[in-house]
Amino acid sequence: MVVSMIQFILELPETTSIKEKRKIVVSLKEQLRTKFRISCAEVDLHDSLQWAQLGGALVSNSREHGEHVLQKALAFAESKCRVRDVQIHSELYD
């Protein structure tokens, strides 16, 4: 079993309230879950108006497949928001 993980920071300079930020973040998380079938959560920067940190994971049987799906999910996120500090990593579990 291979677990592929992604972590990235969203830059949201136009948001003016936590409520507005949450709307953007929740929408993006749902789209990533639906379109790419990955688990996704906001993992840090909860109180910041202009920044959000998201993490996602996918379980598969190959590192290449998992990282390919996460690269596609990243490209989708980049089409919606500004993305910074991307990390993609896979681990093999026996």
Helix pair 63-80, 18-36: axis angle to 10 deg? 140
CB 4 within 8 A of CB 70: yes
Q: How large a percentage of the chain has pLDDT more than 90?
A: 82
Answer yes or no: is pLDDT of 76 > 90.
yes
Average pLDDT estimate for 53-62: 94
Longest dimension (CA), the chain: 46
Average pLDDT estimate for 47-54: 90
Domain boundaries, the chain: 2-92
Does domain 2-92 fall under CATH 3.40.50.10780? My reply is: no
Cα-based angle 5, 72, 1 (whole degrees, multiple of 5): 40
Answer yes or no: is pLDDT of 84 > 80.
yes
Confidence of residue 86 (pLDDT cuts 50, 70, 90): very high
Cα–Cα dist 81/93, whole Å: 33
pTM for the model stands at 0.84
Cα–Cα dist 3/65, whole Å: 10
**Residue 60 in tokens:** 């598969």
- pLDDT tens per residue across span 26-43: 999 999 999 999 999 999
Task: Please name the residue that has the structure tokens 């906001």.
Answer: 42
